[in-house]
Amino acid sequence: MVQVTKNIEALIDDGGEITLGALPPHECAATAADGSNCLAMLVRRDGESLNALLKRLDKAIGLAWSNDMFIDEVTVVACPSSCSGTSAAVSPQPGWSAQ
């Protein structure tokens, strides 16, 4: 059973939304947005339950509101020339734990 947590509930009560599902090239992602901002975009990890993904999303919403920290695991950006022209996903800020 999926348990809605306090930040997700507050976001939806205030007219925001969350989405959960395929977001190519990712098999599963969870996103949260209010009326004007994308607050978080998380990719489901191998072996991660939906409940665990939603708990991470709830935590990421809280970080966006309290610290203006917007977690984006979905968007791919071009690396500077120092990383040999490969691409990398934008990762969470240092010290942010998914647990």
Q: What's the confidence (pLDDT) of residue 86?
A: 35
Asked, for residue 29, whether it belongs to a domain, the answer is: yes
Instruction: Give per-residue burial for 57-95: e unless 16+ CB within 10 Å, then b.
Output: bbbbbbbbeeeebbbbbbeeeeeeeeeeeeeeeeebeee
pLDDT one digit per residue (tens) for the chain, 99 residues: 566 689 999 999 999 999 999 999 999 999 999 988 999 999 999 999 999 999 999 999 999 999 999 999 999 766 555 544 433 334 444 444 544
Asked, for residue 62, whether it belongs to a domain, the answer is: yes
Asked, for residue 99, whether it belongs to a domain, the answer is: no
Asked, for residue 72, whether it belongs to a domain, the answer is: yes
Q: What's the confidence (pLDDT) of residue 99?
A: 46
Domains in the chain, number:
1
Asked, for residue 97, whether it belongs to a domain, the answer is: no
Q: What's the confidence (pLDDT) of residue 35?
A: 87
Q: Which residue range is the domain that position 76 belongs to? A: 6-89
pTM of the model: 0.76
Asked, for residue 95, whether it belongs to a domain, the answer is: no
